[in-house]
Chain A
Amino acid sequence: MADVTLTIDGKRITVPAGTTVLQAARDNGIFIPTLCHDPKLTPWGGCRLCVVEIEGMRGLPASCVTTVAEGMVVQTASPQVVEARKMMLELLLANHPRDCLTCSKSGACSLQDYAYYYGVRGDKFHGEKHDYPLEDDNPFIVRDMNKCILCGKCIRVCAEVQVNNVIDFAHRGFNTRVTPAMDLTLRESEECVFCGNCVQVCPVGALAEKASLWQGREWELTKVRTTCTFCGVGCNLEVSVKDDHVVRVRGYDNPLVNSGWLCVKGRFGADFAESPDRITRPLIRVGERGEGRFREATWDEALDYTARRLQEIKEQYGSRAIAALSSARCTNEENYLMQKFMRAVIGTNNVDHCART
């Protein structure tokens, strides 16, 4: 596509035609706050925090849904723009619980960050506020709709990424809320698969991982990039750890694998890591089969033992007496190695996998 040249805050910028003003600004290091925008979801244009001034256009258009045009002159921080953004934050805070002290999102909340940036305290208006019950009837997600700013990202992620359409806007105007049909909870809806992708996109503390509550403040967490062990897809994870304890799992945005999205197991199944039932050392059976008695062994001992036994069996009964069953929790590379080992070293095609059927 052809290129377009425009001016943003006095800076001449050239971008491909079709780019949004927001993207053009961000690509060039110019700050514009957003709440409802997510480059991976369809544009919405509802929060109006990203408004800018564009010469020749009426009012203040939302930069996330305005495409660049040749010769466009954009102001992202004029007094009018700043006044409007501050007002928008005042309006959102006027209908938001004063809960930053204990909110699990504190430190990673867009609303908090922008309020700080613009010096907005949220004390301009005193009127009706929402008073919805807290939803925590499922083991994974806590929903506090009083904190919801109605950006609609969760709805879009559920519809466009998970393709599950559990939630939508219901009612209208000031009473608009995000909910499954019939104002049921996620659990009652019987449609939610608890992938938690909605939690991940929520810019505020309206959606939270239940297991993470009270486990550590945002700034106490160490973030570790790793790969999910639940299946062979290899979704990239960002695991937040505090004192050697996994507090939270989020998807890491690797467009080659999972683009940051996860399923229920990868996101909410991390507790196995600290389970007392987890086997962390090799075990070698002692006593009779079925008796259930094992002793701990070192890796060297276990490997030597296994190699020896495989060799004995192969010599005594032939290659076809041996089969391998691999796991979906291994990586592709590991699974590849396993079948290679069976065919080349053991000499059999007796290879199978728990996820084959």
Chain B
Amino acid sequence: MDLGSNNDANIKAKALAEVLERYAGTEGALIPILQEAQEIYGYLPGEVMREIARKLKIPFSQVYGVATFYTQFHLKPRGRNIIRVCQGTACHVRGGARLLEAISAALGIGKNETTADGRFTLETVACLGSCGLAPVMMINEETYGRLAPEKIPAILEKY
């Protein structure tokens, strides 16, 4: 598993150890520990959850159950830029699906996945309410309309 550069990984591991230390012996500490771990890593890597389970002496399956039960927790890293491609009716008619395929191909990731370099996360959305500009997508707070697969590389270039 890649948790960033070695040095970075060390800093994070130290921060996690410090959190675990601070909560040592506290009852019911799992959720606050997961919250702080997510702040350190940006998400909850499997190894981190395993480490937490080991330290708290609770089953790994329970840690995983808790991490997937609550919507606050992310089990995959989210990218620095969030792309949301509209899959509403208007966009669908105007090639929203092809657009999604094009982005997916350009980045080498599927829906709800993140590029290995952490640059983009690809998500879909039911309707962005800009049907007149279909097909549309948003990158972070910016809306792009009247898109075509050819235009994608140039736009992604900007991020």
Query: Chain A: residues with CB nearer than 8 A to chain B?
Result: 159, 165-172, 179-183, 189, 191
Contact = CB atoms under 8 A, between A and B. Distances in A.
Nearest to A177: B68
A118 to B, nearest CB: 32
A191 B60 contact: yes
Contact of A168 (B49, B50, B64): B64
Per CB-CB distance, the 8 closest pairs between chain A and chain B, nearest first, are A165-B59, A181-B64, A168-B61, A181-B60, A168-B65, A170-B68, A181-B61, A171-B68
20 contacts: A165-B61, A166-B61, A168-B59, A168-B61, A168-B62, A168-B64, A169-B65, A169-B69, A170-B68, A171-B68, A172-B68, A172-B69, A179-B64, A180-B60, A181-B50, A181-B53, A181-B59, A181-B63, A189-B61, A191-B60
Nearest to A165: B59
A167 to B, nearest CB: 6
A181 B50 CA distance: 9
Given A165-B61, A170-B68, A182-B64, 13 more contacts: A165-B62, A166-B59, A166-B61, A168-B62, A170-B64, A170-B69, A179-B64, A181-B59, A181-B60, A182-B46, A182-B49, A183-B64, A191-B60
Contacts of A182: 46, 49, 64
Contacts of A180: 60-61, 64
Nearest to B46: A182
Nearest to A171: B68
A172 B72 CA distance: 13
Interface in B38-67: 46, 49-50, 53, 59-65
Question: Which applies to chain B's interface (DSSP): helix, strand, loop or mixed?
Answer: helix
Nearest to A155: B61
Nearest to A159: B59
B139 to A, nearest CB: 28
Contacts of B46: 181-182
A180 B60 CA distance: 8
B13 to A, nearest CB: 19
A320 B125 CA distance: 84
A172 to B, nearest CB: 5
Contacts of A181: 46, 49-50, 53, 59-61, 63-64
Contacts of A165: 59, 61-62
A150 B129 CA distance: 38
Contacts, number: 43
A166 B60 CA distance: 8
Contacts of B69: 169-172
A180 B53 CA distance: 13
Contacts of A170: 61, 64-65, 68-69
B83 to A, nearest CB: 24
A218 to B, nearest CB: 31
Contacts of A171: 68-69
Contacts of A167: 61
A167 B64 CA distance: 10
Nearest to B69: A172
B61 to A, nearest CB: 4
Contacts of B53: 181
A295 B90 CA distance: 85
A181 B60 CA distance: 6
Contacts of B50: 181
B112 to A, nearest CB: 13
Nearest to A173: B69
A172 B69 CA distance: 5
A169 B67 CA distance: 11
B45 to A, nearest CB: 10
Nearest to B61: A168
Contacts of A168: 59, 61-62, 64-65
